[in-house]
Structure 1
Amino acid sequence: MVCKYFLFMLVFLTTCIHIFAWTDCGSVDGSIAKVQVSNCSQNARRCILKRGSNATMTIDFKPKVDSDSVKAVVHGIIMGVPVPFDLPNSDGCLNSGIKCPIKADGEYKYFTNMPILNEYPRVTVDIKWELQDSIGKNLICALIPAKLQ
């Protein structure tokens, strides 16, 4: 269980928000306009996630379909192996900046803020962050290269 929360915490950084290099990993029912992770340099190859800090992640997206719900699903990909884990709040309509139901062609901003614990090991990871619609299809999928320090 600690491993699951460790991977979740990898998503976050501290203080200032910057745009950085991320890739779309399979958005089906929507498109990503922007992904931001706090304190991640725009020119960084990987976001540096600092242990012992708090971090914020924001995804601006536009759905292609209406949906009554939004669910966040996250995997940490370590050495090519996706490791799923439970989020403390996977409900994208609760305390995440999104008001459901969402409408096709609307513009939405999803955000989350979490602490990065000191006990997490130093590791390189790709974070696969998905927001799914009410039938389980990916509204968006962002692959975020990161390194925990």
Structure 2
Amino acid sequence: MDVSSVIKMNKVYITVAVLLAVAVIAVRSNTTPAEQCPGQNFEGLSDRIQVLPCESKRCKLRKNSNTTVILKFQTKTEVKELTNNVFANLGGLPLPFIGVSGMSACPHVKRADNGQPAPCPLAANVEYVYTNQFPIESFYPQVPLRVHWALNDGQKDVICFEVPAIITKR
């Protein structure tokens, strides 16, 4: 190899290293501060949850915008129906998010292995990805809160998390 070939290879290696570093920083900056729901323990929860947009300490939910929630989960038994249980906890008072809480989660579920829609019933021991978008309405008060998000099979939570958040102006 001549000197110019070595220099070109080094430039390629440096470019790849810089791109990987940027990707790692981007992924880490999108970390959602997901916490276990009271009395529950879902393994690897923080790696399974993403709220967009969200910062590492608190999610900023901007009025007149949409927030996206992505959950990876696996059921232990067949699930015939899956329902959203989503509310803002304001000083111990649960206020449901309009148009999301109580609605079927089934239309928002895909298989994690191939991205294909996975309408209910959901098979046991299969990895799924739930993606949903919900509006932050203009009339929501600008306050700090905790968002509680659970997918429930009618008897128990299949997955549940809470995040500290604040509703802000757009």
Q: TM-score, normalised by structure 1?
A: 0.74
| 1:91 maps to 2:104 | yes
CA separation of 1:105 and 1:136: change in aligned 2, threshold 3 A: same
Determine if contact 1:19/1:34 at 8 Å carries over to the other structure.
no
| 1:114 maps to 2:134 | yes
1:50-101 deviation per Cα after TM superposition (whole angstroms, max 9, x unaligned)? 1122221111111112111111111221112333455357111124544221
CA separation of 1:21 and 1:85: change in aligned 2, threshold 3 A: closer
1:146 is matched with 165
User: Any idea what SS the aligned residue of 1:94 has?
Assistant: helix
CA separation of 1:139 and 1:27: change in aligned 2, threshold 3 A: farther
CA separation of 1:48 and 1:85: change in aligned 2, threshold 3 A: closer
Q: 110, 120, 128: which is aligned to 1:100?
A: 120
* Pairing of 1:1-149 with structure 2 (within 5 A): 18-25=30-37, 26-27=39-40, 32=45, 33-41=47-55, 44-84=56-96, 87-88=99-100, 90-97=103-110, 98-133=118-153, 135-149=154-168
CA RMSD of aligned residues (A): 2.5
User: Any idea what SS the aligned residue of 1:45 has?
Assistant: coil
User: Any idea what SS the aligned residue of 1:58 has?
Assistant: strand
Larger radius of gyration: 2
Q: Which has the higher strand share?
A: 1
CA separation of 1:77 and 1:37: change in aligned 2, threshold 3 A: same
Unaligned residue ranges in structure 1 (runs of 5+): 1-16
